[in-house]
Each structure stands twice: as C-alpha cells, then as structure tokens.
Amino acid sequence: METQQKENTAQRNLLGTLRSNSTFGTFIKAIDKAGLAASLTGTEQYTLFAPTDEAFAALPAGMLERLLEPANKDELASLINYHLVSGHKTTKDFGQWTAARTLQGQHAPVVVAQGTLSIGGAQITESDIMAKNGVIHVIDKVNIPEAKPH
C-alpha cells in the first residue's frame, strides 16, 4: 500500500478502511452478519487481523455458508473476535510476543521466523494499516479458535 493511501485510511475507522479495499468482502459480510460492525466503527482502539477473500475461500467446503446462517451468529462472532486484539498494536509491538490475547478470550500464538510474522498460523502479508480506531494487519488464513468444551 502506498504511503498516500495509508494516510487516507488513517482518516477512516477500521470498518471503513476494510470497505475501501476490495479484498475483504467476505470478512465485511461476516462482521455484518455477526452484528459486530458497531464495535469496529466506534472510538475504542483495536488491532484487527483481517483475512482476505482468498483466505475465506480456503476454508473447508460449506463452513463459511454454515457460519453465515443466522442460527450460528454467536459462533461467527467468536471467530471474528478471535481476529481482534484490544488496543492499537503495530508489528513492532507484537513482534516480541509469543501469543496475543484475542477479544474472543483465547490466545493466538505469535511467531517471528525468517523475517515473517504470523499469528495463529496465519502469515501477516501486509501490516500496520492505520485507521482512526486501530490498526489492520492482513493475514492469509482464517484463524479458527479452539472449540470450547460445553
């Protein structure tokens, strides 16, 4: 992303920044279906690990369709919250971590190896995209939280 474009996104909130990029259509749809749009447009600061449409396309067959059904709204919200960390964290901040505590409640492992950074097994392909209420890091895989025992 060019510097001019990065500066422009800093004027938008997290959701507006996602909407300005055509590679996050599925993630935006999931955020809307889960009822989480308001939290990404508010003033609270978040770090968002945003899977691309390609990442969603790589999910097991039928999984995305099942998650988008109204009956699975809570499970979808849990998955999205697993891609959010409270606060404004750049790669410099979490490059020292071994795990990040997500809004979903579980810790996602953070690994720095051979110049690449990954969280929860997803490689960060573009980092430090600033928004008014946080920062976005683009990831190449949808991270699935561990199933919680009933």
For 40-59, how does the pLDDT look when each residue is reduced to its tens digit (9 = 90+)?
999 999 999 999 999 999 99
Work out the average pLDDT over 90-113. Answer: 90
Order of strands, edge to edge, in the sheet holding 116-119? 84-86, 46-51, 134-139, 122-131, 116-119, 107-113, 99-101
Position 125 scores a pLDDT of: 96
Q: Give the model confidence (pLDDT) of 102-142 as tens digits.
A: 999 999 999 988 888 999 999 999 999 999 999 999 999 99
Q: What is the pTM of this model?
A: 0.90
How distant, in Å, are the alpha carbons of 19, 28, 81 from that of 37? 11, 8, 12
